[in-house]
């Protein structure tokens, strides 16, 4: 797949939001994870959810998916309250690898994303048209993520990057308006990180789906980003990377001095975080 | 124990089949064996896929306490087996041992397994000496002693299993392979996990008569494991698993009939040989492929 370093697409802020988060808060085990979160996501927008470990990045994604109840506020997805099982959202959870002994084809895993939740026996000979459309849809998304070469191999035998591509295809197979990806680049080597990041950027352009991507390292996707959602210490800052990844904003979020350096070649380096929370961002231009 | 002392195979296939199916107890054995092999292979496929072969096997072993306890309290063994299996299923589910096996869950399952075997041991001790002879049947099966009534129970249980599996099969496959995504899609993953264990308890309860609690692994896990070595297509793997389970059962019954040795031994041994062949073949193919890749790379260079 060819990769283009496109400039972030310009999104009209007036467009009807696909996701609207208003005054939202989540409590888990009596602890407030974050509160007063407000967020409007426009169609086709590409957002990264950033922040230190345990800040509640995945929790924000799960709240939008309707998997975690809100303690306050509201989340609306395509005008409806967030609910579990919404086919308008394609979801790739935080990476668990398939064990090497899972011997089911990659194409079957993708297909389950389409109708795996339906009760009853699939009888393709009773509805040949429906079965054909389904097969076509599966083939299309597999082509889209560039996984055609290995869809017939058992998923457990595939590399992390190949599995990740197929799981993204699985999330895409319902033709969602929103794609929610939880750390899709973690646990991949550098070459696969760039490859999968390229696939995600390609998808966001081709399908027009809004992308919400939880990342530990913003670097591989920075060229495609419209805005970042920075979650830290119970608070959330939203804006363009230039607005949010700054000395002032990050210092306020962390409640401790943070310095954001911009190197002459355009890289952004964040310093001053504790080792545990330390993340540095580099932008190559 | 020879079944009919004077009989041996004539090696005339038709004549041998006629002899095999001549006796009513053999008809019942083939009927029950065929039904049990079908059910065990189907549920076994999901068991292997969910990575809970050991938990499933232990659930069968808990049946030992159930069956012996049932006799002690004057209930039908199959009912005792099913309720013991249900209890074990609830235990496994509550303790979350149905997750892919971890070291901790292996220990917990092993502890439950041993405790239930000990309980069964106590029940035998409390029961009459006459009943103690039947322990062999529970442990290793008694496929040649299946009554018409037993066949009826097995038929109904397997029928129920097929209907339920046809309804929940696809979401169960999804939940087994990819529980996080399935849950986000609205599939009741936890509920399906429990439902699966209940089905497993049902299969175990009826399968024990054919292969016993100790040898049940041969019909539950081995055919499904071989099938997954052979193909990565779920539907095809299910069919192969069923086919293999039937072949092992029929061969075991036939050989057991014509020899003085027990049927359960042959079913289990054929399954084991099949498994070894599948593993060996898989290993061989991989070696050949690696060799082929090395050769072609060498050729290019």
pLDDT in tens, A102-114: 999 999 999 999 9
DSSP-derived letter for residue A134 is H
Q: CA of B30 to nearest chain A CA: how many angstroms apart?
A: 28
Q: Do B171 and A118 touch (CB under 8 A)?
A: yes
Q: Do B180 and A84 touch (CB under 8 A)?
A: no
Confidence band for A166, pLDDT divided at 50, 70 and 90 = very high
Task: Please check whether residue A64 lies inside any domain of the structure.
Answer: yes
Average pLDDT of chain A, as a whole number: 85
A44-90 pLDDT, tens per residue? Answer: 999 999 988 888 999 999 999 999 999 999 999 999 999 998 889 99
Which pLDDT belongs to residue A278?
Answer: 47
Q: Do B234 and A99 touch (CB under 8 A)?
A: no
Task: Please check whether residue A284 lies inside any domain of the structure.
Answer: no
Q: Do B184 and A118 touch (CB under 8 A)?
A: no
Task: Please check whether residue A49 lies inside any domain of the structure.
Answer: yes
Task: Please check whether residue A7 lies inside any domain of the structure.
Answer: no
What dihedral do alpha carbons B59, B62, B64, B68 form, nearest 10°?
Answer: -140
Buried b (16+ CB within 10 A) or exposed e, B198-227: bbbbbbbbbbbbbbbbbbbbbbbbbbbbbb
- Reduced to 3 states (helix: H, G, I; strand: E, B; else coil), residue A92 is strand
**What is the spatial distance between Cα B49 and Cα B225, in angstroms, rounded to a whole number?**
9
Task: Please check whether residue A174 lies inside any domain of the structure.
Answer: yes
Residue ranges of alpha helices (H) inside chain A are 57-64, 106-115, 128-144, 160-172, 190-207, 241-244, 247-254
Kindly list the domain boundaries of chain B, sorted by start residue.
13-215
Q: Using an 8 Å CB-CB cutoff, list chain A residues near B180.
A: 93, 96
Q: CA of A270 to nearest chain B CA: how many angstroms apart?
A: 33
CATH number of the B13-215 domain: 1.10.3470.10
Confidence band for A275, pLDDT divided at 50, 70 and 90 = very low
Of B40, B1, B33, nearest in space to B227 by CA? B40
Task: Please check whether residue A281 lies inside any domain of the structure.
Answer: no
Confidence band for A222, pLDDT divided at 50, 70 and 90 = confident
Q: How many CB atoms lie within 10 A of CB A255?
A: 10
How many domains, chain A? Answer: 1
Determine if residue B141 is left, alpha or beta; phi over 0 gives left, psi from -120 to 50 gives alpha, anything else beta.
left
CATH number at residue A190: 3.40.50.300
Q: CA of A223 to nearest chain B CA: how many angstroms apart?
A: 28
**What is the spatial distance between Cα B129 and Cα A271, in angstroms, rounded to a whole number?**
79
Helix and strand numbers (H, E) in chain A are 7, 12
Say which of B51, B178, B232 has its CB closest to residue A99. Answer: B51
* Length of chain A measured in residues: 285
B78-100 pLDDT, tens per residue? Answer: 889 999 989 888 887 887 655 55
**pLDDT at residue A218 tops 60:** yes
**Exposed (0-12), middle (13-18) or buried (19+): which is A104, by Cβ within 10 Å?**
buried
What dihedral do alpha carbons B31, B34, B36, B39 form, nearest 10°?
Answer: -130
Residue B216 and residue B264 in contact, taking contact as beta carbons nearer than 8 Å: no
Most confident of A128-142, A252-266, B16-30, B157-171: B157-171
Distance of CA A126 to the CA centre of its chain: 37
B169 in contact with A at a CB cutoff of 8 Å?
Answer: yes
Q: Do A105 and B182 touch (CB under 8 A)?
A: no
Say which of A91, A103, A109 has its CB closest to residue B228. Answer: A103
Residue B245 and residue B203 in contact, taking contact as beta carbons nearer than 8 Å: no
Give the range of the structural domain holding residue A209, as residue numbers without chain letter. Answer: 19-271
Of B181, B161, B162, nearest in space to B171 by CA? B181
Angle at B120 between CA B119 and CA B123, to 5 degrees: 90
Residue B222 and residue B249 in contact, taking contact as beta carbons nearer than 8 Å: no
Task: Please check whether residue A8 lies inside any domain of the structure.
Answer: no
Which pLDDT belongs to residue A4?
Answer: 46
Which pLDDT belongs to residue A14?
Answer: 57
Which pLDDT belongs to residue A2?
Answer: 41
Work out how many CB contacts closer than 8 A connect A with B. Answer: 86
Q: What's the Cα-to-Cα distance from A183 to each of A180, A197, A240, B161, B214, rounded to whole Å? A: 10, 11, 20, 40, 45
Q: pLDDT tens per residue, chain B (301 residues)?
A: 444 545 677 778 888 888 888 899 999 999 999 999 999 999 999 999 988 888 778 888 888 899 888 888 888 888 899 999 898 888 878 876 555 555 666 777 788 888 888 998 898 888 776 666 678 888 888 888 899 999 999 999 999 999 999 999 999 999 999 999 999 999 999 999 999 999 999 999 999 888 888 888 899 999 999 999 999 999 999 999 999 999 999 999 999 999 999 999 999 999 999 999 999 998 898 888 887 766 665 444 3
Task: Please check whether residue A147 lies inside any domain of the structure.
Answer: yes
- Evaluate the CA torsion angle B268, B269, B272, B278 in order and state its sign: negative
**What is the spatial distance between Cα A220 and Cα A225, in angstroms, rounded to a whole number?**
10
Residue A33 and residue A56 in contact, taking contact as beta carbons nearer than 8 Å: yes
């Amino acid at each position: 797949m060819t990769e283009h370093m496109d400039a972030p697409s310009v999104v009209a802020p007036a467009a009807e939001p696909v996701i609207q988060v208003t005054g939202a808060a989540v409590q888990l085990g009596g602890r407030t994870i974050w509160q007063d979160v407000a967020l409007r996501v426009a169609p086709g927008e590409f957002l990264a959810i950033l922040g230190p470990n345990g800040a509640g990045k995945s929790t924000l994604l799960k709240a939008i998916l309707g998997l975690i109840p809100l303690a306050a506020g509201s989340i609306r997805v395509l005008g409806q309250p967030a609910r579990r099982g919404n086919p308008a959202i394609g979801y790739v959870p935080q990476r668990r690898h398939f064990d090497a002994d899972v011997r089911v084809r990659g194409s079957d895993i993708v297909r389950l994303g389409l109708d795996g939740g339906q009760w009853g026996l699939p009888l393709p000979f009773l509805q040949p048209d429906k079965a054909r459309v389904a097969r076509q849809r599966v083939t299309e998304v597999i082509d889209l993520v560039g996984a055609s070469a290995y869809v017939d191999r058992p998923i457990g035998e595939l590399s992390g990057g190949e599995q990740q591509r197929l799981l993204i295809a699985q999330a895409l197979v319902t033709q969602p308006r929103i794609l929610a990806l939880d750390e899709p680049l973690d646990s991949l080597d550098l070459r696969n990180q760039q490859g999968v990041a390229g696939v995600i950027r390609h998808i966001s352009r081709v399908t027009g789906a809004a992308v919400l991507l939880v990342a530990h390292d913003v670097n591989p996707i920075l060229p495609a980003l419209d805005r970042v959602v920075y979650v830290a210490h119970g608070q959330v800052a939203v804006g363009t990377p230039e607005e949010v990844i700054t000395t002032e904003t990050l210092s306020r979020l962390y409640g401790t001095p943070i310095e954001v350096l911009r190197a002459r070649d355009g890289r952004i380096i964040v310093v001053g975080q504790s080792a545990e929370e330390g993340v540095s961002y580099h932008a190559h231009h | 124990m020879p079944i009919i002392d004077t009989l041996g195979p004539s090696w005339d296939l038709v004549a041998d089949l006629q002899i095999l199916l001549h006796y009513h107890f053999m008809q019942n054995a083939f009927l029950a064996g065929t039904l049990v092999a079908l059910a065990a292979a189907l549920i076994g496929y999901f068991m292997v896929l969910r990575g809970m072969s050991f938990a499933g096997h232990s659930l069968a072993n808990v049946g030992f306490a159930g069956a012996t306890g049932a006799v002690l309290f004057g209930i039908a063994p199959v009912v005792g087996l099913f309720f013991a299996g249900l209890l074990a299923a609830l235990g496994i589910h509550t303790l979350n041992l149905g997750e892919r096996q971890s070291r901790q869950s292996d220990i917990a399952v092993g502890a439950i397994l041993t405790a239930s075997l000990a309980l069964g041991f106590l029940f035998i001790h409390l029961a009459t000496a006459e009943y103690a002879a039947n322990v062999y049947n529970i442990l290793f099966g008694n496929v040649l002693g299946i009554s018409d009534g037993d066949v009826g129970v097995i038929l109904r249980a397997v029928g129920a299993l097929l209907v339920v599996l046809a309804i929940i099969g696809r979401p169960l496959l999804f939940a087994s392979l990819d529980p996080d995504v399935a849950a986000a899609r609205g599939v009741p993953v936890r509920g399906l996990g429990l439902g699966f264990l209940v089905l497993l308890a049902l299969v175990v309860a009826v399968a024990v008569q054919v292969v016993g609690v100790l040898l049940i692994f041969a019909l539950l896990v081995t055919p499904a494991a071989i099938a997954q070595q052979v193909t990565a297509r779920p539907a095809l793997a299910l069919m192969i698993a069923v086919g293999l389970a039937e072949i092992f059962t029929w061969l075991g019954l036939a050989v057991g009939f014509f020899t003085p040795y027990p049927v359960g031994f042959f079913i289990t041994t054929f399954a084991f040989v099949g498994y070894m062949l599948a593993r060996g073949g898989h290993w061989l193919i991989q070696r050949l492929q690696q060799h082929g890749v090395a050769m072609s790379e060498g050729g290019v260079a």
